[in-house]
Amino acid sequence: MGITTRVKGEPGEKKTFNFALFWDKYGTFFILAIIVAIFGTMSPEYFLNTNNITQIFVQSSVTVLIGMGEFFAILVAGIDLSVGAILALSGMVTAKLMLAGVDPFTAALIGGVLVGGALGAINGCLVNWTGLHPFIITLGTNAIFRGITLVISDANSVYGFSFEFVNFFAANVVGIPVPVIFSLIVALILWFLTTRMRLGRNIYALGGNKNSAFYSGIDVKFHILVVFIISGVCAGLAGVVSTARLGAAEPLAGMGFETYAIASAIIGGTSFFGGKGRIFSVVIGGLIIGTINNGLNILQVQTYYQLVVMGGLIIAAVALDRLISK
């Protein structure tokens, strides 16, 4: 039931407060504020430290990047379970190219955009050609991409590449860490795509009702392909950032990160049933994941308990979305 209010200057007209609409716009911010308040109360000396807050943003940059890619897959009522493997393979290719003498930033461009985009395109093409649900396709390609990463690295870490590359991502610009700026630039580009371009509107329409989108003249297969390419590019860029931050390319990097990606998108208000969500809400969702991980680490909670928390958050977020939708 709504709360009825009078609109000033227009006697007789009524404006209904819609809780679902309010929660859709601001719910993610409330969740983040509550989590910050809880950890801030439990460990004010360490958690609310300026350096720790900065670290939360830096650590969340990878989660935000893969979450934004996952957002597009979920937006069309699909899913991408291969983002963690794409992250690892893109980071490994970037490191190998630098060791082969390729300019660091050219290697990052190739590894992040081209390799990530190509792997995403493989996912999209397989979904279109087979007609299978993306869950099945990306479950399979997750194993394939991870296996390729282990093969080309001989299951060993790759390091010893350019310090210029590492130092660039470790630097600050006007006090803001480069990984954070990098993530925000990608977020702005994707925000523009979803809100100001026909391509974005078509993707929302496709997620809302695939049959209606088809009969409206939208090329369903093309947009499915684009969605997975975007997801692949975001995961590839996350691989570049992760490799720079670690100073090495790990063959098992990104293992289980699909859980973080899905959680970021869903907690950020993206509907698992497609057609609903916002990029900047996903960014806040990624910050929530980073804040929870950071807070639990400060409280010395063991890693596997963090997985329990993530799983519970995903279930709770989807159940809440379904409840509010009704």
- pLDDT digit string, tens, across residues 181-215: 999 999 999 999 999 999 999 999 998 888 888 88
- pLDDT tens profile 238-290: 999 999 998 899 999 989 899 899 989 988 888 888 888 899 999 999 999 99
pLDDT score of 217 more than 80: yes
pLDDT score of 319 more than 80: no
pLDDT grade for 22, boundaries at 50, 70 and 90 = confident
pLDDT score of 7 more than 70: no
Q: Which residues of 127-159 are buried (b: 16+ CB within 10 A; e: fewer)?
A: bbeeeeebeebbeebbeebbebbbeebeeebbe
SS3 75: helix
pLDDT score of 153 more than 80: yes
CB 71 within 8 A of CB 265: yes
Separation CA 146–CA 89 (nearest Å): 7
Separation CA 129–CA 141 (nearest Å): 15
pLDDT score of 6 more than 70: no
| pLDDT (0 to 100) of residue 34 | 86
- Share above pLDDT 90 across residues of the chain, in percent, rounded to a whole number: 51
Mean of pLDDT over the chain: 88
| pLDDT (0 to 100) of residue 5 | 47
**Confidence (pTM):** 0.89
Of 84, 15, 76, 63, the closest CA to residue 232 belongs to: 84
- pLDDT tens profile 104-139: 889 888 988 999 999 999 999 999 999 999 999 999
| pLDDT (0 to 100) of residue 202 | 93
| pLDDT (0 to 100) of residue 13 | 54
At 158, give phi and psi (nearest 5°). -115, 125
Range with the largest mean pLDDT of 99-103, 123-127, 319-323: 123-127
CB 240 within 8 A of CB 111: yes
pLDDT grade for 1, boundaries at 50, 70 and 90 = very low
pLDDT score of 313 more than 80: no
At 2, give phi and psi (nearest 5°). -90, 165
* More confidently predicted of 230 and 38: 230
